[in-house]
A and B are shown apart, each in its own frame.
Chain A
């Protein structure tokens, strides 16, 4: 019972410093063969049909997994999390709120971190020590990212997998480091991809399980996974407050946009896919990205976990063929 679940990336250093096992509930949900049934389970419990599939999945995972507590990110991610936390409390699950201050106020961020450190009965020094250890593992993921867009040795899905896994290091940072090391050695000896089309993927990770392979079968490779890259903390900073200050994802569309535009310029992409979850407020933010990004742009929407549906596939095909 030392596993701590969380609803989106949190300062995982705190959990590791306290000797806990971090569990990103999203990763457990989407990699479970019964992910669709989990959504049904939440709907049976009364979650509305017109609510985000991820939230429903997180609810089911939190009930099924043997967790000591769940950290719910109440600001900087998804407003549905509040009701998720409340319904989990109804099931006697211990929940711990965490918040990224919307105005990116460093002092406020420090205070939220302080509170988290206090809850887990650890201290700043140990947390800082863990951060330095994780910096080394994250550096491997940054290298995988570089090998994706610069060296063309890594597929879009592999890039997605290694970057997204840094939210909880699959519960075991040392084991994950070995896995990443071995992958890098293996990928170095590959023939580079000769893709016709290079794509950027912005937005939350897809609920579709085969999005990357679908695109690759059409001759298009994702060379930039925006939010996943942020999970791997591309700007480490000198201390943990700085690191989560530079982390863009929780601080709104404009904080993300600045990072996105820099990366789009760097990575020489032909088009941008913006993924939004059905019923998510981020569908409104699509207006901003469409207006501000001067590249061919496709907005995709996913509802339930599973393979890419026929309609989405048709739209992806049309987009890729338009770019060729």
Chain B
């Protein structure tokens, strides 16, 4: 079973046999669309052999991209459903709040008995998403990994806009704020951006997925601020694609 998550910043592909992952790849979205798009009308014809994937018995796609383009031969799965399936599969938990922060958006989903019962997403701006973190890391001349290690004494940053955020941080540099305080400030805005949603859709356990789940400072801040148990998925970036595989396998079993 092959699952494809067509994200705004990267395309994630996972191949699973039963419940075992046999292959996984992450591609830059622009590269991926250039490579496989434009060969049909609004459709992506993916050469699975070219990607080193074979012997498939099904293809399931999710993500923003699936609306603009159809992956030929794929079943489409709504994004939130894919992420919930992936998180339930990866954690074996059934009651939790899923916080998924991807390249351009944030989703918070309340999961009960393994199903989404309520969800919220961020407003239209990409502030405090993966793209925001990349920009901020570049300005601070840090790698994403380095950036994610700071959580103490954050400077206060206004998190309403990803682009104005850059101007703001330059101002703070001029004011003489230390690198660690600035980096902590950036990580703190990630939390502030989703805090209200986490409170509205609260659970005892918060599961982090999406590329931003790799930011360890975020997990630490959430733990401190909410007193909830925070679970980081083993493969946060691949969660949507894993969810697709899980869904595809279920369909095979039920004959749906």
- Measured CB to CB, the closest approach of chain A to B118, in angstroms, equals 7
- Measured CB to CB, the closest approach of chain A to B106, in angstroms, equals 12
Contact residue among B67, B80, B105, B123 (Cβ-Cβ distance under 8 Å from A318): B80
Residues on B with beta carbons closer than 8 Å to the beta carbon of A294: none
A106 touches B (CB below 8 Å): no
Residues on B with beta carbons closer than 8 Å to the beta carbon of A278: 124
The answer to whether A317 touches B64 (Cβ under 8 A) is no
Q: Which A residue sits closest to B104, measured CB to CB? A: A311
The answer to whether B80 touches A301 (Cβ under 8 A) is no
B116 touches A (CB below 8 Å): yes
A194 touches B (CB below 8 Å): no
Residues on A with beta carbons closer than 8 Å to the beta carbon of B105: 311
Residues on B with beta carbons closer than 8 Å to the beta carbon of A90: none
Q: Which B residue sits closest to A310, measured CB to CB? A: B67
Tell me whether A314 and B124 are in contact in the complex, defined as CB-CB below 8 angstroms, given that A322-B117, A322-B119 are known contacts: no
Residues on A with beta carbons closer than 8 Å to the beta carbon of B79: 314, 317-318
- Measured CB to CB, the closest approach of chain B to A75, in angstroms, equals 28
- Measured CB to CB, the closest approach of chain B to A314, in angstroms, equals 5
The answer to whether B67 touches A313 (Cβ under 8 A) is yes
Main secondary structure of the interface of B (DSSP, over half): mixed
Main secondary structure of the interface of A (DSSP, over half): helix
The answer to whether A318 touches B116 (Cβ under 8 A) is yes
Tell me whether A315 and B121 are in contact in the complex, defined as CB-CB below 8 angstroms, given that A321-B80, A322-B80, A322-B116 are known contacts: yes
Task: Provide the bound-state CA to CA distance between A311 and B124, in Å.
Answer: 9
A19 touches B (CB below 8 Å): no
B81 touches A (CB below 8 Å): yes
Residues on A with beta carbons closer than 8 Å to the beta carbon of B81: 318, 321
Number of interface residues of B (CB under 8 A): 16
Q: Which of B101-130 contact A (CB under 8 A)?
A: 105, 115-119, 121, 123-124
Residues on A with beta carbons closer than 8 Å to the beta carbon of B40: none
The answer to whether B68 touches A310 (Cβ under 8 A) is yes
A237 touches B (CB below 8 Å): no
Residues on B with beta carbons closer than 8 Å to the beta carbon of A318: 78-81, 116, 119
- Measured CB to CB, the closest approach of chain A to B101, in angstroms, equals 15
Residues on A with beta carbons closer than 8 Å to the beta carbon of B124: 278, 301, 303, 311
- Measured CB to CB, the closest approach of chain A to B6, in angstroms, equals 11
Tell me whether A314 and B78 are in contact in the complex, defined as CB-CB below 8 angstroms, given that A301-B123, A301-B124 are known contacts: yes
Interface string of A295-324 (1 = CB under 8 A from B): 010000101000000110111011101100
Contact residue among A296, A314, A321 (Cβ-Cβ distance under 8 Å from B67): A314
Residues on A with beta carbons closer than 8 Å to the beta carbon of B123: 301
Task: Provide the bound-state CA to CA distance between A318 and B124, in Å.
Answer: 17
Residues on B with beta carbons closer than 8 Å to the beta carbon of A311: 64, 105, 121, 124
Q: Which B residue sits closest to A296, measured CB to CB? A: B118
Task: Provide the bound-state CA to CA distance between A319 and B107, in Å.
Answer: 13
Apart from A301-B123, A314-B80, list 10 A-B contacts with CB within 8 A.
A296-B118, A303-B124, A310-B67, A311-B105, A314-B64, A318-B78, A318-B119, A322-B80, A322-B115, A322-B117
Some 24 contacts from A to B, beta carbons below 8 A apart, are: A278-B124, A296-B117, A296-B118, A301-B124, A310-B64, A310-B67, A311-B64, A311-B105, A311-B121, A313-B67, A314-B64, A314-B67, A314-B80, A315-B121, A317-B78, A317-B79, A318-B79, A318-B80, A318-B116, A319-B119, A322-B80, A322-B116, A322-B117, A322-B118
Closest 7 CB pairs of A and B: A318-B80, A317-B78, A310-B67, A321-B78, A322-B116, A318-B78, A321-B81
